Structure 1
Amino acid sequence: MNHIAKTVLILGANSDVAKQCIKQYIEKGFSVIAASRDTVSLKEFVSEHHFDLKVTVLHFDAVDFDSHQKFYDELPVKPHIVVYAAGFLVDNEKALRDFKGARQMMLVNYMGAVSMLNIIAMDESNKNLERIIGLSSLSGVRGRKSNFVYGSTKAAFTTYLAGLRQELASKNIKVNALVIGYIRTKINEGLQLNESLIMEPDYVAKFIVNAGNSFTIVPNFKWQIIYFILKMLPESLVAKLP
């Protein structure tokens, strides 16, 4: 009997972390459906790494809500694992002064995720589904004046994933939230970040690909400490953070 590879669907597959996930899932024997708005760049990546037989590249737009059901219905195979990695970021000052940027963060980071993951989670006919993983952020743990607009979209996403985990528990479908700190990626280029806290995309990808039973997964022990401090700090001290 031939072994049929399990399939992972990566939504927002053009990010640096998502591309590392593609590599690592393939190493674990998965087939990958990589979905992104920028299919040209994604196809170049797949071809460059000779993944053509293992990866199907599809067009996916997180904010085109009306297309989501059709996108899902036309998947070549229903996934065993789904990773929502789509994300958008503008700095807080811009988000406060220009609602377009704030709105786009809400659409991509939260509304697009809810729209697409609801469709996937509520498909009673997909007996393959084992796990849904969402990429969230430390920015969503507490509201801080440096990034609270972006952080609010990630806080909403984490809360949604927590409820989705409870909704799907009876079906034995696991839901994980990756609560991530600074990563060396395109999105963070030019920002003044603490070098000792920056994680490499392949390092973060390992936590996604090897996700276990815990709902909240915080890669790197330094970020785990920061996460628990942020959770415990009284509001008066959070207000003094940048």
Structure 2
Amino acid sequence: MTAPKSVLVIGGSSDIGHATALRYAQAGWQVALAARDTTAAQRNADDIKARSGVDVPVHALDVLATDKLADFVAALPALPDTVISMIGELGDQKRAETDLAHATMIMRTNFEAPSLLLGLFANAFQARGAGTIVGVSSVAGDRGRGSNYVYGAAKAGFSQFLSGLRNRMALAGGVRVVTVKPGFVRTRMTAHLKLPAPLTVDPGRVAADIFRSAEENGREVIYVGRRFWLVMTIICAIPETVFKRLKL
């Protein structure tokens, strides 16, 4: 009998992390969560077990403690088949414009920390000869906008890191790197925002697209909601002189 595949969802206390872990559990995978807020992650783990019957261990992880990331990877009971980074923090753009500590937190949480951590997993997967890495970035990284450029810049950096890592792993063989770019998602992180209904999805849609792309059809760069690919293609094509007048 073949042992079930395993996935580690980093950022397991989040709404998207919860939905994604549940999707994998319902497909018969062994699932583990990692999060700084282990209380919230445990609630998600308990819910996943109730819905799927799968036991879900929770690991404590503060991604901003980058000096301890290597120890975290080494201490895992087993190296997962797939690792998914849901790490993200929208932050407050206005505050970040004058509060350097807040801006630093946004940049480190969305770029530095997940990049360093996934780089460690890539090395471990390469040594094993197999593995899938999924990084959840954002369409906000496709073009800088005045309303969220600190967050967007960090996500842009993360997307480029994943692109470079994907190319490096392609040369080695055996390790896949998937970039996921959601647009507007109804979560606790966006609850205070007025989101455009036609372009907004729920966490379950993100989870379904991640599983389909990472584990079924082999796509490596996906926009959650196909219409967002068209939206961002148009936005990126607007000349800078015109784009500045849009006050986005």
Unaligned runs of at least 5 residues, structure 1: none
**Structure 2 residue aligned with 1:184:** 186
Say which is worse superposed, 5-14 or 49-58, in terms of deviation. Answer: 49-58
* Distance in 1 between residues matched to 2:195 and 2:76, nearest whole Å: 39
Task: Tell me which amino acid in the other structure corresponds to 1:73.
Answer: A
Distance 1:93 1:53, change over 3 A: same
User: What is the Cα deviation at residue 191 of structure 1?
Assistant: 1.0
Distance 1:131 1:125, change over 3 A: closer
User: What is the Cα deviation at residue 47 of structure 1?
Assistant: 1.9
**Structure 1 residue aligned with 2:230:** 225
- Contact 2:180–2:221 at 8 Å: present in 1 too? yes
Structure 1 stretches of 4+ moved >4 Å: none
Give 3-state SS (helix, strand or coil) of 1:132's partner.
strand
User: What is the Cα deviation at residue 190 of structure 1?
Assistant: 1.6
**Structure 2 residue aligned with 1:208:** 210
Q: TM-score, normalised by structure 1?
A: 0.94
Say which is worse superposed, 120-129 or 68-77, in terms of deviation. Answer: 120-129
**Structure 2 residue aligned with 1:139:** 140
Q: Deviations over 1:110-151 (max 9, x none)?
A: 110122111111126752642111111111101111111110
* Distance in 2 between residues matched to 1:19 and 1:55, nearest whole Å: 11
How many residue pairs match? The answer is 241
Give 3-state SS (helix, strand or coil) of 1:239's partner.
helix
Distance 1:157 1:66, change over 3 A: same
Say which is worse superposed, 204-213 or 173-182, in terms of deviation. Answer: 204-213
The root-mean-square deviation of aligned C-alpha atoms, in Å, is 1.7
- Contact 2:126–2:174 at 8 Å: present in 1 too? no
Distance 1:4 1:126, change over 3 A: farther
* Distance in 1 between residues matched to 2:5 and 2:35, nearest whole Å: 20
Unaligned runs of at least 5 residues, structure 2: none
Q: TM-score, normalised by structure 2?
A: 0.91
User: What is the Cα deviation at residue 230 of structure 1?
Assistant: 2.1
Identity of aligned residues (%): 29
**Structure 2 residue aligned with 1:64:** 65
Task: Tell me which amino acid in the other structure corresponds to 2:68.
Answer: S
| Structure number having the greater helix percentage | 2
- Contact 2:46–2:56 at 8 Å: present in 1 too? no
- Contact 1:62–1:113 at 8 Å: present in 2 too? yes
* Distance in 2 between residues matched to 1:125 and 1:171, nearest whole Å: 8
Task: Tell me which amino acid in the other structure corresponds to 1:204.
Answer: V
- Contact 1:78–1:126 at 8 Å: present in 2 too? no
**Structure 2 residue aligned with 1:48:** 47
User: What is the Cα deviation at residue 18 of structure 1?
Assistant: 0.8
